[in-house]
Amino acid sequence: MSESLVVVNFKTYETAQGASAEDLARKMAGIETTARLVAAVSAFDVESVVEAAPGLEVWCQHLDPVGFGSNTGWLHPLTAIERGASGTLINHAEHKVSLEHVAMLLEQTPEGFSICACAANIEEARALSALEPTFVAVEPPELIGGEISVTSADPGIVSGTAKAVKEVCSSVGVLCGAGVKTGDDVKVAVQLGASGVLLASGVTMSEDQLESLENLVYFL
């Protein structure tokens, strides 16, 4: 994978929901960069964000491997795709699932639909990579939402994950996240072997979201 990936997880931040999600997506779509920018949005916002920012890649934050029928409260992958989603996060530290859940989701989604499976450590990343998702993102839970980037606090987990994943399946891309906020963080992540980054508050909670986005991709 030659292009670097920058995934912005909108989570349920007030600054990245509803009309604010649409506004942030338009800012992302307007960035001039060779990087691949992705907005991971609330299921409620998928369709409106796709419409607000044509051309921007939009993912869900979670999906469930269910069929049509009696599945109250679950998120059906084909409905997400129908609404314009082209990928999803899964197994985020804030919404953990089983390996079986991830495997079943991979079986249910069509070719070309990106699945980024999140891992807390190298061991979990290795196990997830055996399922052959599109990406594995390593995020130490204790650093998520913090002020110190994983690339500074624990660079070994980034390089170690990149090595472990490639040993299991060379086609799986590796992302890193937790505390990532600046272009320097992204630069180091790539130098450590990552294909890109997964971040949230560094953009969503920024006083100037556009400036933060531009800073993130300056190196790419």
31-42 per-position pLDDT tens digit: 999 999 999 999
Residue 126 has a pLDDT of 98
Give which of 142, 73, 75 is closest to 108, Cα–Cα: 75
- Per-position DSSP letters for 162-211, written without gaps between them: HHHHHHH-TT-EEEEESS--SHHHHHHHHHTT-SEEEESHHHHT-SSHHH
Residues 5-9: what's their mean pLDDT? 97
**Neighbour-count burial for 122-147, b at 16+ CB within 10 Å, e otherwise:** bebbbbbbebebbbbbbbbeebbeee
DSSP-derived secondary structure letter, 139: -
73: Cβ contacts below 8 Å, ≥ 6 apart: none
pLDDT at site 179: 87
- Band (pLDDT 50/70/90 cuts) for residue 6 is very high
Active site residues: 92, 139
Q: Has residue 43 got a pLDDT over 60?
A: yes
How do residues 139-187 score in pLDDT, each as one tens digit? 998 898 888 899 989 999 999 999 999 999 999 999 999 989 899 999 9
User: What letter does residue 68 receive in the DSSP assignment?
Assistant: S
Q: What is the pLDDT of residues 97-156, one digit of tens each?
A: 999 999 999 999 999 999 999 999 999 999 999 999 999 999 998 898 888 899 989 999
pLDDT given at position 192: 95
**Residues 14 and 45 sit within 8 Å (Cβ to Cβ):** no
Choose among 186, 184, 204, 182: nearest CA to 195: 186
pLDDT of residue 220: 75
pLDDT band at 219 (very low <50, low <70, confident <90, very high): confident
Instruction: Provide the mean pLDDT of the chain.
Output: 95
Beta-carbon contacts of 98 under 8 Å, excluding residues fewer than 6 positions away, are: none
To which H or E segment does residue 8 belong?
Answer: strand 5-9
Question: What's the CATH code, domain 5-216?
Answer: 3.20.20.70
* pLDDT score, position 212: 95
- Confidence label for 2 from pLDDT (cuts 50, 70 and 90): low
What's the pLDDT at 3?
A: 81
